[in-house]
Chains A and B, each alone.
Chain A
């Protein structure tokens, strides 16, 4: 079953509004990665977080890894129509034997 939970499943925002998606694991993660899938495309790697409490920024995107390494978030400031897509987190756990497990994804739509 799914070890990595991601919320919300869908998010619709007005262009210029902020957006956040959250990823939670019941077990400690060795690292967490974020991917973006544009409509009709395939997931593409965005970033990786490894350290407890780590925060990384890519322009308007801010990624955080929780202190306990069980949760992560992706925050987009002032969304643009180019941000449309599904954002997936993927965690490498220290428990499972099946490598990276993806969250269900958060589908973001942006109204111009």
Chain B
């Protein structure tokens, strides 16, 4: 099946630093990529959707200036957590779809990034 590579798998950083997470589709063109956040014992919450060539669409309550998303190409999307604080500590997961919109079919997930902000 399709493979989505996400890295780093784990990041520990000091408060105030910025962290970049990469998500790559290895064997298909990811027209649409999604970024999720998951706190312990809670569900995946969609943060934003990015379609290649367009600006990301952020979900309500997600600060677009804090969580910068760049869908640089059909195989790469990055999420940058700017000026990270301890409350940003969470599990971040990307997913990709070969279709524009791509919400009515199964998604291919990256392996996730555990961010811990000290």
A complexed with B: no
Which A residues contact B (CB, under 8 angstroms)?
none
Which B residues contact A (CB, under 8 angstroms)?
none
